[in-house]
Amino acid sequence: MLYYSGRTRNIGNVDSGNTITDFLELERQRGITIQSAAITFHWPPQQALAPGEEPMTINLIDTPGHQDFRYEVDRCLPILDGAICILDSVKGVETHTERVWSSAHLSRIPRLIFVNKLDRDGASFKRSVQEVVMRLRTWPLVCQIPWWHGNDNFGGVVDVVNEVGLKFATNGAMTVVSKEHIPNELRQEMEKARTSLLETLSYQDDLLLDEYLNLQNDVPAASIKRAIRKLIMDGEARFSPVFAGASFRNIGVQPLLDAVVDYLPSPLDRPELQVTMDAKTDSLSHFLQKEVKKKGHHPNQPPIVALANVFKVVDDPKRGMMSYVRVYHGALSRSSHMWNSHIHGFEKPLNLLHVFANDHHDIQHLPTGHIGAMTGLKYARTGDTLVTFPGNHTQKVPEPLRNIRIKTLEIPPAVAFIAIDPFSPTANERLEAALKKLSREDPSIRWTKDEKTEQLIVSGMGLLHLEIAQHRLLTHYKIDKESALWGDIEVEYAETPVGPAGPLRFTFDRPLLDKAGKAACAVTVEPLEEHHRDQSLLDPDMSLESTIERDGNIIHISIPLPERANLNDLPFEPETLRQQLLNGAIAGLSRGPRRSSRVRNCYVSVTFNPQTDYFGVASTGGHITNAAIGAVRAALKEVHGRGEMGVLEPFTNVTINCPEEASGAIQHDFTSARGGQVLETRKPDEDLYATAGIDVSTVYVPPDPYDSVQSLRDPKKSMVRMLDLIGKAPLKEMMKYDSQLRSMTGGRHELQLSPGNFELVVGPREKALDNSRM
């Protein structure tokens, strides 16, 4: 894309290690994307436009494909206006593809589908489109069909919408072939595909239906593009345009870029941004209109100048910490003081940058819908909301705008960890400083310090995720490997109460930073159940209440008001105190009493009574936070004392594609030796998703060139019959299971893992866990 847009002079290649967006050394070594990269370019090229026309600006974010970096993908999704889902035509729709597709569905992102690698042995456009129906539950709008030369030589595509053929030379040069010069058999298939596309669109679009009834297959391409764009704009993905290509041979890239311009929305076409203020969620414009009316602002002087979201933080070797932002309202200025509503403080950037992968250029303003980066922000983390106000003031921020926030993604639970034992205080300080920066870059990397042993525990999303984190500590942050003892990567267990405790009142009465103070609160803990999610958020007549889900727990904060009192009568800032109690509850749940592991699946109710638990302005926020920490830990200790603290183990969803002859041995090993459970056995081409509501037989798919020819590429003619074993198993047993499968299948298998749930450990596995800690 960058090459054809004129942004680069050479085409990068993953195998050669010279790609633009995969610029980290480890990315080039392993041939994978580890961190997302942002690039801005223009399309179509100026020479392809008529006089007076201007190209579109495209902000591209290249995201990782490996499941261990799923949070890296998920935190980028909400800032997107559209997405391209790239499928491997040999493997079809993979498990990780389904999960990312579901995440895009939650953010209602319009999507295109690009069936890639059609030049590879075993590629099947037909099977890939059918799996789009069965696994992604979307109706494919086939806008291109592959152009095969002979039975298996992929050399171009036929554009169904524009009724032309597109042939590609070995150097990627594209030649447009008119309808009349397309081979007769292929032209008939194109007309069949166009008829199917028009019939599908006509059922959804009355304007197109009128044209179709009058013109039949001669409906103009512009009308079809308008109908497709309108149909996918809501992001529900009931329908998805499908394109074909082979990016390694530079086939299909230019028409895919045309499709981005033709079908995906601009920032102005997207639904209005939803924000939260003081536990209430509404559209940004509605909040601002209320503020204008309440404060008496002139309509041309809105309460805020700009609003942006920090979606990524990177420690750049040259520029230091860089905060990547997406602007949703107004324009950010390099000279502006920016209010961070998460830390309740102002920050001012040193530089405002236009981003091109690892290359950056200084700019003065970043307008609505654009993506850029800032340096010099000392505290901003992924997910923070930045606001600038009129007059660029840094004094008192008007209520409730000080709490305006863009909804962010909850960080998923860690499932693996590595222990690090520094050999000296100096090594410990360097490691802690590096881990602070690393966790600010990637919030799914978490670390804690054992108060007794001073051992550092680094947690992450899986084996590869932690291997990359360790490599970054050693190379980017220059940590000497010999300065500490590095443990093996292990599975992260969790604790959970299986019985209730409380209400238990705890008083914290100790000096903090040589400042005396005192605070108290009452806490109840119990196993998390579905009804706990139905808590009211705010009842101003009775109490200040909030319910927050964090790290697999639900924390309910209640501050009951004295009789005939209101929030303005309280001697403290309610929102600030609520945040301090929440921080304390989260910290209290970070270490359980049974294994010192994080607590999950727990419902915590924290009550702060202003009449009995507040001891004056001398008490700092630290006293209130410590009161909540002490109360939560005391309640958990009470549960543990009754023997009612269980252990949770992370499970993973497993799909094993293996030869039928080896499936019996694999099932036995999977269930008996690995503690797994096989949920289903199926042939890869079976329709598992009948509940999708789409009859696959009614969906148009073009035939593959070898459908009527005996070929090893045809799975039905293959000498090796393959099966899919679908189940779940403890993550610990699956982390290195691929090598075990290799000995049972002779290497003819594929193992796919996707995130599962935490499940209670019982029976022999629980005893084995307890014995391993003795």
Only one residue has tokens 């970070």, namely 590
Q: Is pLDDT at 737 greater than 80 in this prediction?
A: yes
What is the DSSP code (8-state) at residue 242? E
Q: Is pLDDT at 266 greater than 60 in this prediction?
A: yes
Look at residue 536 in the predicted model and tell me its pLDDT.
42
Threshold 0.85, pTM exceeds: no
How far apart CA 68 and CA 79 sit, in angstroms, is 21
Fold for 82-265, please state it. Rossmann fold (3.40.50)
How far apart CA 147 and CA 159 sit, in angstroms, is 10
Q: Is pLDDT at 593 greater than 90 in this prediction?
A: yes
Cβ-contact 726, 655 below 8 angstroms: yes
Domain 416-491 has CATH 3.30.70.870: yes
Look at residue 506 in the predicted model and tell me its pLDDT.
95
Cβ-contact 458, 445 below 8 angstroms: yes
Domain 648-772 has CATH 3.40.50.620: no
Q: Is pLDDT at 340 greater than 60 in this prediction?
A: yes
Q: Where are the domains of the chain?
A: 82-265, 274-406, 416-491, 499-643, 648-772
Stronger pLDDT, 287 or 331, i.e. the higher one = 331
Q: For the domain 274-406, what is the CATH code?
A: 2.40.30.10
Grouping H, G, I as helix, E, B as strand and the rest as coil, residue 527 is: strand
In this prediction, residue 711 has a pLDDT band, given cuts at 50, 70 and 90, of: very low
pLDDT tens by residue, 492-533: 889 999 999 989 999 998 888 778 888 999 999 999 988 877
Domains 416-491 and 648-772 share a fold: yes
Mean pLDDT of 708-716: 44
Domain 499-643 has CATH 2.40.37.10: no
What is the DSSP code (8-state) at residue 614? B
Look at residue 483 in the predicted model and tell me its pLDDT.
92
How far from chain centre, in Å, is Cα 420?
28
> Order of strands, edge to edge, in the sheet holding 111-116?
83-88, 111-116, 239-244, 139-142
pLDDT tens by residue, 481-496: 999 999 988 888 899 9
Look at residue 403 in the predicted model and tell me its pLDDT.
81
How far apart CA 149 and CA 154 sit, in angstroms, is 6
Rg, Å, the chain Cα set: 29
Q: Do you find a cis peptide bond into 349, omega within 30 degrees of 0?
A: no
pLDDT tens by residue, 93-114: 887 788 889 888 888 999 999 9
- What's the mean pLDDT when you consider all of the chain? 84
Between the alpha carbon of residue 746 and those of residues 659, 674, 694, 714, 742, the distances in Å are 10, 20, 38, 21, 5
pLDDT tens by residue, 392-444: 555 667 766 888 888 776 777 788 889 999 999 999 999 999 999 888 888 88
